[in-house]
Structure 1
Amino acid sequence: MKGTGSMTDERLPLYQRLRDDMLAKIAAGEWAPGGAIPTEAELTKHYGVAVGTLRKAVDTLVQDGLMKRSQGRGTFVLRPNFESSLFRFFRQVDARGERRIPNGRILARELTSPPSYVADALALAASENVIRLERVRELDGTTVYHEEIWLPAGRFEALMQIDPDDFGNLLYPFYETQCGQLIGSARETLTVETADATLAGVLGIGAGQPVVMIERLAFGYDRTPLEYRRSRGAANTFRYQVDIS
């Protein structure tokens, strides 16, 4: 296959190597989320592959929700909405029973050495630092989640120069505009813990009460780990709901 020097693992099927190269173009900013990718004719010529191979690669990206075909218009790069995914299954409601997404507020920011489990998750070298954000998510002034967020300092250093009050509620678009880092996918794991005195004070519950912890590892479009996050909320505020059809 011609037209790229980034696909070096010849053990992978050709369509998978093609898929990975497409993702690398998005991660590098060559293809922007919301924009159309080149036509099939342009891509088959660029890569020197059959149209069937190209379509199979694009099919996998469409199935993963990273691209969308639009009849008569072409294929577009999608921008996943991860900020709302936390609340897709765990519904937060106000006093009137209306579903709402809590607002985010940064409590603290620091440049620091990562704990070993964070360094492992983000695939960092021993000498690399992280930016640690402490954030709460609130509804009507009441804290419903406490979050710890770790980011590779080398990729997100611009965040150290921005007033925490200016971060806004949606962090992933903020990462993109301020640091040029695009989140393409994420993996979440849910566990149940008990609150220590500090967390209990933040959440307004008793020490030892159960909390739900959602651990998220977010990746760039090229599968580079970009963010490790732990969100904790009182277990009695969670309502798990899945629509099956």
Structure 2
Amino acid sequence: MLTSSSCSSLARRMLYKIHRVRCVDDIPVMHEWIWLACSRFPRLSLDVEQFPELLYVHLLEEYGVQISAVREEVHAECADAEDRKLLDIDGEQAAVLCVDAKAFDQANDLTIISKHRALSNGFKYVSEIR
């Protein structure tokens, strides 16, 4: 579910800023922020109904941009108010898995920056690039 999106300026570069909640069997398990260059992906739809579920596949099929490497940093934090609201977390002491990632294309250019915050119990995080 796409919750918000915009195109804004950061260091003189226009970026899409996308926030979405990822669900498994209609249960929210992760929310994520994604930043991409507006100029590089001008036809990217920010419409909730049309935003691609598999972003890397979409970038390859629509723009010829293949994500070839991803650098992820993983840590845990206490759930904040936004986590508790979006992931339906009860209690103050819950932890979330945090993944900060940078994705690079076939030319080794930084293509996507993302921050993910996920439930830390009952689910597992799997990262696969094909």
How would you bin the TM-score normalised by the shorter chain?
A: 0.7 to 0.9
Q: Which of 195, 200, 203 is equivalent to 2:84?
A: 200
User: Considering only CA atoms, is the larger Rg found in Structure 1 or Structure 2?
Assistant: 1
The answer for unaligned runs of 5 or more in structure 2 is: none
Structure with greater helix percent: 1
Cα 1:198–1:181 change in 2 (3 A) is same
The answer for unaligned runs of 5 or more in structure 1 is: 1-104, 115-125
Summarize the alignment of residues 22-33 of structure 1 with structure 2, pairs less than 5 Å apart: none
The one-letter code sitting in structure 2 at the alignment partner of 1:229 is S
- Once the two structures are overlaid, the 10-residue window that deviates more, 166-175 or 138-147, is 166-175
CA deviations 1:33-81 (Å, max 9, x no partner) are xxxxxxxxxxxxxxxxxxxxxxxxxxxxxxxxxxxxxxxxxxxxxxxxx
Aligned residue in 1 for 2:110? 225
1:150 positional shift: 0.6
Structure with greater strand percent: 2
Matches of 1:127 and 1:146, distance apart in 2: 27
How many pairs align?
125
Any conservation in 2 of the 1:155–1:181 contact (CA below 8 Å)?
no
Aligned residue in 2 for 1:185? 69
Summarize the alignment of residues 15-26 of structure 1 with structure 2, pairs less than 5 Å apart: none
Matches of 2:55 and 2:71, distance apart in 1: 17
Scaled by the length of structure 2, what TM-score is found? 0.84
Summarize the alignment of residues 1-245 of structure 1 with structure 2, pairs less than 5 Å apart: 105-114=1-10, 126-159=11-44, 161=45, 163-205=47-89, 206-239=91-124
In structure 1, the residue corresponding to 2:102 is in which secondary structure? strand
State percent identity of aligned pairs. Answer: 30
RCO higher in structure (CA 8 A, sep ≥6): 2
RMSD of aligned residue pairs (Cα, Å): 2.0
Scaled by the length of structure 1, what TM-score is found? 0.47
Aligned residue in 2 for 1:95? none
Matches of 1:170 and 1:164, distance apart in 2: 14
Matches of 2:102 and 2:71, distance apart in 1: 5
